[in-house]
Structure 1
Amino acid sequence: MTGHDHTHLRPWRAITRRPSRKIRVGNVEVGGDAPITVQSMTNTLTADANATIGQIRQLEEAGADIVRVSCPDVESTAALSTIVRASKVPIVADIHFHYKRGIEAAKAGAACLRINPGNIGRPDRVREVIQAARDHGCSMRIGVNAGSLEPHLLEKYGEPCPEAMVESALDHARILQDHDFHEFKISVKASDIFMTVAAYQLLSEQIDCPLHVGVTEAGGLRSGTIKSSIGMGNLLWAGIGDTIRVSLAADPVEEIKVGFDMLKSLGLRHRGINIIACPSCARQGFNVIKTVETLEARLAHIATPMSLSIIGCVVNGPGEALMTDIGFTGGGKGAGMVYVAGKPDHKMDNEQMVEHIVQLVEAKAAELDAARLLEAAE
């Protein structure tokens, strides 16, 4: 919540992030004291540059810090330079086995290669990819998935497990370190949340590079959001994670929204309106659920961090309004009370309430943005 979240006064709110070194993904910093970044991935055909750029635009508007595109073939890397030029955010090229795709992506301007160096064959090929990344200022992500572990590790451990994932990650990291390449981050994802959390906890103690956190193949919008929130929430709360991706079988824009909501709920990142709303009951003075749904849609364009409470009656309304920038509490006779900066300010008819709140929030957002610009100028 803006303006009210005094962590030093409330130590139970404090999250101490795991110390890690900082790397760059294009112009975005990842790790160290940099804000936790939110990523998603396009699902258009990368070879169709226009469709891919269109989806990147939507992700940028939703607040994405970094976007990944899959580069499975030469047509994809051929389209990459057009995509990179059109994108406002850094582009990560997803490379799996073919070392040439990695070299092409680095030349095309990818900010980062998602690659497992141990998968791309002979040492000279690995050396070529690392050299291309170095020459073009490209960082790398080692991406370990429980579903695609190396055969020798499966044989050693008998099945995918946290120890096998961490060993795989450190084996790949060692190849980069042996080539004096340190601009990398690591992910160790599984679709099983227990395995995911255990793997990241183990890994976090064994290496100081930034960690890209996610639960892979989490599922559809609702079940995937829940699984991701439990797994990633545990890790983020423990201070583990420098960049995140919520993997949903849904519109990629939803991944960005869920990612930011997750960070917002833990006070790790603030973007847009945080609506505190009651679930509503027979005491409600207006239709809370419909109002919140409308306000979420009407205020989705605002990136300024702000809090808004929409509470159906006076039981919890005044208390919640006390802690938010703007509040509305249901009352009787078709009207409710508008709170500004925690204090009751004026009454408002339910009929006009949505329009009125949208105007108040937009005005407050403009005021906060102007104050921030002034502060930056000084």
Structure 2
Amino acid sequence: MIIRRKTRKIAVGSVAVGGDSPISVQSMTNTDTRDTEKTIEQILRLEEAGCEIIRSAVLDEEAAKAIRVIRDAIHIPLIADIHFDYRLAISSMENGAEGIRINPGNLGGEEKLARVVDSAKHHKVPIRVGVNSGSIEKDLLKTHGYPSAENPKALIESALRNVQAIEKLGYHEMKISIKSSDVLTTVSGYRQLSALTDYPLHLGVTEAGGLIAGTVKSSVALGILLSQGIGDTFRISLTRDPVEEIRVGFELLRSLKIRERGPELISCPTCGRTRIDLFKLAEEVERYVQTMKRPIKVAVMGCVVNGPGEAKEADIGLTGGNGVGIIFKKGEIYKKVNEDVLLETFMAELKKMEEEG
């Protein structure tokens, strides 16, 4: 059983982060925020996949003003991602951002940070203090060296220094992230940071890579930390459609038995007995179950001989070969159909199970 470390609870819009609240799954849009139509369309797809908090880059004043249009069209909290220009942080909050992500050290000094914090207080907006390995202050790098698994002190001290700067201004609605592109540095850094603060932690491996490399690196680092009770919210960073980040995120939580959302999909790796286009079937079924909320187990198996038996714990599954498709439930054959209508028939059964609740 995983025992989460105790953290203070903050509110990002309607979503609680930290404390006893569920570990939330986030993503970030990769559209131009100023293109509100495309950004809204992407966020709505992310919502359908289960995204609970979304972040968008604010590059200029036009993007800050777009926050209002976007926020009014979506159903999950919207965080503005800000670098360097403190005015954009303030404008984003004035336009309805429900959270901001900043590196306080690169906003231009104490006076500008104070103005951002005053706005956050006024609008009741939490601040994510985000520090990456590539954005650490020079004096900390000189003292501690570049962050590594053996010595992540520069990352940790940078984050805590920036947190303390905000605390001195009388504000404590914060969460912290210290991201590295290195898995072991990420694990070591968050482990040590978690022992030094009770602020909620946002986990992530930055610049993790594409679908395969990014999934592996993120799952290893975050899986280790989450299994040790560290982490209150996270993003799986992939060079990919951000919807994939949400899919990976919830599968990670499911694998650790932390949270379940929608069906669990199991499928065989194929072998020489496979006589159906299993890759295509698995892909189509996987795409569909991502829209479902009922926590059932769905199987896509490659042959009639072993399919129902190997997946007998599945609530529903399909298999087939040589022109015949079989749908089974709990290991028992439920329906036989022609292979060319197997997918269509199976989808109808899934829809029926979802509607029945």
Q: Do both share a fold (TM > 0.5)?
A: yes
| AA partner of residue 337 (structure 2) | D
**Secondary structure in structure 2 of the residue aligned to 1:67:** strand
Q: Does structure 1 retain, via aligned residues, the 8 Å contact 2:326–2:336? A: yes
Q: For residue 138 of structure 1, report the CA deviation from its aligned partner.
A: 0.4
* Residue aligning to 1:348: 336
| Residue 202 of structure 1 pairs with residue 192 of structure 2 | yes
**Secondary structure in structure 1 of the residue aligned to 2:131:** strand
What are the equivalent positions in structure 2 for 1:1-378 lying under 5 Å apart? 14-161=1-148, 162-284=152-274, 286-313=276-303, 317-318=307-308, 320-328=310-318, 334=324, 336=326, 338-339=328-329, 342=330, 344-349=332-337, 351=339, 352-368=341-357
| AA partner of residue 355 (structure 1) | E
Q: For residue 337 of structure 1, report the CA deviation from its aligned partner.
A: 5.8
The alignment yields a C-alpha RMSD, in angstroms, of: 2.2
Q: Does structure 2 retain, via aligned residues, the 8 Å contact 1:286–1:334? A: no
**Secondary structure in structure 1 of the residue aligned to 2:16:** strand
TM-score under structure 1 length normalisation: 0.86
Q: Which moved more, 1:188-197 or 1:292-301?
A: 292-301
| AA partner of residue 347 (structure 2) | V
Classify 1:182/1:316 alpha carbon distance in 2 versus 1 (closer, same or farther; 3 Å).
Answer: farther
Residues paired across the two proteins, number: 353
Q: Does structure 2 retain, via aligned residues, the 8 Å contact 1:77–1:105? A: yes
Deviation string, structure 1 residues 286-345 (Cα, Å, up to 9, x no partner): 443332123223434323322112233577645553433223455899454612xx3525
Q: Does structure 2 retain, via aligned residues, the 8 Å contact 1:215–1:231? A: yes
Q: Does structure 1 retain, via aligned residues, the 8 Å contact 2:247–2:290? A: no
Deviation string, structure 1 residues 5-34 (Cα, Å, up to 9, x no partner): xxxxxxxxx222222121110011111222
**Secondary structure in structure 1 of the residue aligned to 2:239:** coil
**Secondary structure in structure 1 of the residue aligned to 2:250:** helix
| AA partner of residue 145 (structure 1) | N
Gaps of 5+ in 2: none
1:57, 1:92 → 2: CA distance?
15
Classify 1:180/1:319 alpha carbon distance in 2 versus 1 (closer, same or farther; 3 Å).
Answer: farther
Q: Does structure 2 retain, via aligned residues, the 8 Å contact 1:65–1:90? A: yes
Gaps of 5+ in 1: 1-13, 369-378
1:270, 1:286 → 2: CA distance?
30
Q: Does structure 1 retain, via aligned residues, the 8 Å contact 2:312–2:331? A: yes
Classify 1:312/1:157 alpha carbon distance in 2 versus 1 (closer, same or farther; 3 Å).
Answer: same
**Secondary structure in structure 2 of the residue aligned to 1:43:** coil
2:197, 2:14 → 1: CA distance?
24
| AA partner of residue 231 (structure 1) | A
